[in-house]
Amino acid sequence: MGQAMTIIPKEDALPGRADKMVVSSTHAVHNRATVEPFPEHLENAMFGMGCFWGAEKRFWNVPGVFSTQVGYSGGHTENPTYNEICSGKTNHAEVVRMQFNPSEVKYVDLLKIFWESHNPTQGMRQGNDIGTTYRSAIYCYGEQQLKEAQETKEKYEVALKKKGFPAITTEICPAMKFYYAEDYHQQYLHKNPSGYCGLGGTGVSCPREEL
């Protein structure tokens, strides 16, 4: 597990490689596509919530979510491996990416799940998972997602502070390139039902009407 607590300069990041990670083209839970091209009516969302095993499971059965994949984003190393991620020398976070149908589930509803399903106030850690790879992050596809991410952050932060939590530390920025994690990690908790899941929220709700 990665223990690096600070983002390193870009020039110090591992270079990576040109070869892409090869993963199964179908989802282990519902047999839908996990690689491009996806149906054109779908939109992307990408979140960092600590260990990506539990984060992916939290979203793969949400109505309106077509497919989910786990991977690495937010850093500089091209096509990184899990071992490189854990070294703290890539600047990537573990993320879950999903394709969703906006006529069935709104992005703001995915944000509500995101905020409530982990602790976004812990900086470079999530529970017992410590390091920059486990940081809370929202990587946004387009200006509207950025706007909604910032607005929900501000409103949820008020709710958290009322319960004694510190400020939200979630990284919110335009989406960078998504790199697939090894196939072993894809839908991990479906393949290994008793596997580790460190996902846990604050217990503070983020009411939909407040968003």
| Residues known to be catalytic | 51
Q: Is 86 exposed, middle or buried (0-12, 13-18, 19+ CB in 10 A)?
A: middle
Six-digit token string for 146: 């950025």
Q: Is 126 exposed, middle or buried (0-12, 13-18, 19+ CB in 10 A)?
A: buried
Cα gap 51→180, rounded to integer Å: 14
Six-digit token string for 123: 């900086």
Cα gap 21→178, rounded to integer Å: 11
- The neighbour count for residue 197, using CB atoms within 10 Å, is 17
User: What share of residues in the chain are helix, strand, coil (percent, to 5)?
Assistant: 30, 20, 50
Q: Which of 47, 8, 53 is nearest to 152 (CA)?
A: 47
